[in-house]
Structure 1
């Protein structure tokens, strides 16, 4: 690939997209580099949106990602509409067509919306504009309803309580984060929410909203009525793959790629010149089962983007992407940190469980082997777990 060719196109002005661009330049690519982003903003970090920015402990600069000096042609506020693999082009909304010699798919995921009509005060939380709007409302006397007590929903509730906002947190499962971390961790997190004054309602759902053209609350599945002036739907996210329909790529709740981050065609073979990075990707891992994994974690986007960029430039010597995944969440002064794949465990070992002291230590095993760990305010123990997992992963044949 040279400066005279069509160049590399990165679809997704995301963390993964930005890191892929930086890696491409660092590994010697000097050709044309175009980034397409659906939002009008330059790439930014999402974790600070539901943490520092919403809690009003930092301004928007905390979310900025460095992009200066990378020589990028920005195409912002535009969505990719169609991919033509044989023609090596990406069609944008409005009809413009971008040719490419190499393509990085980093379109991320979209929040799952409320599945019906709703008042205008009911929204989702994903973008910088979402964070700006919610930050403006918090602390002003509004009552917040958060639908879904997963990682995002929990952080929204914590940030809102920190601003003095009244919070109703509704979760369909018996505990928050049960499907991701299991019931013990779920009860630990539930205790943190309740100690902070959050009204946590589990084993229930929002049935409908009240107030017509202006939100006044919701009716839950058990018949309870709760008051709210604004609501955020935090019911997970889905990989943005709609624009890839008909392109001949393998789609399975994400764009399927191999262990080298190369997009796979419907025949299962890697498609030359197309790589994938971030939470749009479904990728293989020895601990993830036959369907592979889709992760929305910060470290995953960073690490897979590095491998994808390198392999796009040097396809004859592809590096393997096989990390020990890690993620974190901040709740009421407790930093929850996890490594591996806790969700794939069949047994757990609880070594410490102290919600009052904010300390937690859980090991997750499958078939007797360590596959994940979770700690609360125990960074030293997490480092030990990470080392064990890395050693175990190194024994698995590539």
Structure 2
């Protein structure tokens, strides 16, 4: 293997490139990406960039010149798995090994495209929306997920009137359960955010620029800026003719090797891999997962990986009103929750399945959530988790 092509030069792709060099690969590494500028810290798009606390120069990270990488600035068009070539615009790149790290894109909006209607995935999205917020008074957020609630917190800090329209009965209920979701909803409502749950948007209206949002029940919400935050989809359009089944992302085995291929791996938001920890296929859109999985996938390409597979208890955080929401693990399939501690707006919750710990989430709990990562990775019993929580409480009170 003398030539590796990495499709995507964001977090997962750069992590893979770095890991290849660290593992001793001295061949040619070409990263293909449509964004010509240097990489940047994507979590800050809905945080510091949107609020204006940091600017474009601060969010960017230096290109790793010491790794001897080649950046091909072009849009990915096609891969020929048999011929081992990637086509990006008019350039054909042969490869001995391929890392697919193209990430995800915003789910296409079903609504009319008007001025001041945004999605929020890239640095450019964040910069444009920040400018629009400066001249706005009323923001409507379609979708009350992690990004939607982060933006709601930023917009309230900037003095806007904010309405969140969420189709589910509880914001983030699918991810964190009813107790945590209601807790977050109360947090926002106490700060003046209007949250409408169990409601569906029927349309966005305006003459050139958005003026209102209509709901299926006939409600009309005045708006001079709208964020459509209805989730994301894996960036797999360029793989349409590859023969791979990419309905849920790039299909991988437990070692991040792409099924039905040779010397092709995937990492980051785009990878739908079998996670040995949870014994099912998952796709994770978290920054830390992109780093860790990109590293593992590179080692897999070189045959220097852990053969047991990439077992991950994903870690995620979200900043809201100066408090950090954190989770480690996955709540999918949970059948019980345990509130480990609650103190004012602070909250710590454990999620179990068949008596085993699968996730811990907390709001404004400092390093406590991460202290449970080992127990999540070991899938400790819920009784062991309760014991640990009592010991922490006893330590605090003593």
Name which of 310, 314, 317 aligns with 1:325. Answer: 314
Q: Which runs of 5+ in 2 are unaligned?
A: 381-398
1: CA distance, partners of 2:61 / 2:128: 21
Name which of 356, 363, 368 aligns with 2:355. Answer: 368
1:249 aligns with 2:249: no
1:335 aligns with 2:324: yes
Mapping of residues 51-70 of structure 1, within 5 Å: 51-69=47-65, 70=67
Instruction: Say which is worse superposed, 293-302 or 57-66, in terms of deviation.
Output: 57-66
2: CA distance, partners of 1:40 / 1:188: 41
Asked whether the equivalents of residues 327 and 362 of structure 2 are also in contact (C-alpha less than 8 Å), the reply is yes
Name which of 7, 11, 15 aligns with 1:11. Answer: 7
Asked whether the equivalents of residues 169 and 197 of structure 2 are also in contact (C-alpha less than 8 Å), the reply is yes
Structure 2 residue aligned with 1:26: 22
1:202 aligns with 2:163: no
2: CA distance, partners of 1:277 / 1:62: 26
1: CA distance, partners of 2:115 / 2:101: 30
1:378 aligns with 2:365: yes
CA deviations over 1:39-74 (Å, ceiling 9, x no partner): 232222210111111122222244323423222211
- Secondary structure at the aligned position of 1:25 is classed as helix
Instruction: Say which is worse superposed, 243-252 or 168-177, in terms of deviation.
Output: 243-252
Name which of 253, 264, 283 aligns with 1:294. Answer: 283
Name which of 252, 273, 276 aligns with 2:263. Answer: 273
Change (3 A) 1:246 1:224: same
Shift, 1:102, TM fit: 1.0
Asked whether the equivalents of residues 107 and 240 of structure 1 are also in contact (C-alpha less than 8 Å), the reply is yes
CA deviations over 1:350-375 (Å, ceiling 9, x no partner): 12344xx3201111000111111111
2: CA distance, partners of 1:225 / 1:30: 60
Mapping of residues 139-178 of structure 1, within 5 Å: 139-178=134-173
Structure 1 residue aligned with 2:295: 306
1: CA distance, partners of 2:337 / 2:305: 42
2: CA distance, partners of 1:303 / 1:365: 24
Asked whether the equivalents of residues 113 and 124 of structure 1 are also in contact (C-alpha less than 8 Å), the reply is no
Asked whether the equivalents of residues 347 and 364 of structure 1 are also in contact (C-alpha less than 8 Å), the reply is yes
Structure 1 residue aligned with 2:131: 136
Asked whether the equivalents of residues 80 and 92 of structure 1 are also in contact (C-alpha less than 8 Å), the reply is yes
Asked whether the equivalents of residues 48 and 62 of structure 1 are also in contact (C-alpha less than 8 Å), the reply is no
Asked whether the equivalents of residues 112 and 203 of structure 2 are also in contact (C-alpha less than 8 Å), the reply is no
1: CA distance, partners of 2:296 / 2:55: 32
Structure 1 residue aligned with 2:34: 38
Shift, 1:263, TM fit: 0.7
2: CA distance, partners of 1:143 / 1:180: 28
- Secondary structure at the aligned position of 2:207 is classed as coil
Name which of 208, 223, 235 aligns with 1:240. Answer: 235
Shift, 1:327, TM fit: 0.6
- Secondary structure at the aligned position of 2:275 is classed as coil
Q: Which runs of 5+ in 1 are unaligned?
A: 266-270, 394-398
CA deviations over 1:187-224 (Å, ceiling 9, x no partner): 01101111221121111121112223221111112211
TM-score, normalized by length of structure 1?
0.90
Name which of 67, 70, 74 aligns with 2:71. Answer: 74
Shift, 1:296, TM fit: 0.3
- Secondary structure at the aligned position of 1:35 is classed as strand
2: CA distance, partners of 1:232 / 1:383: 31
Change (3 A) 1:286 1:32: closer
2: CA distance, partners of 1:154 / 1:125: 12
1: CA distance, partners of 2:264 / 2:159: 47
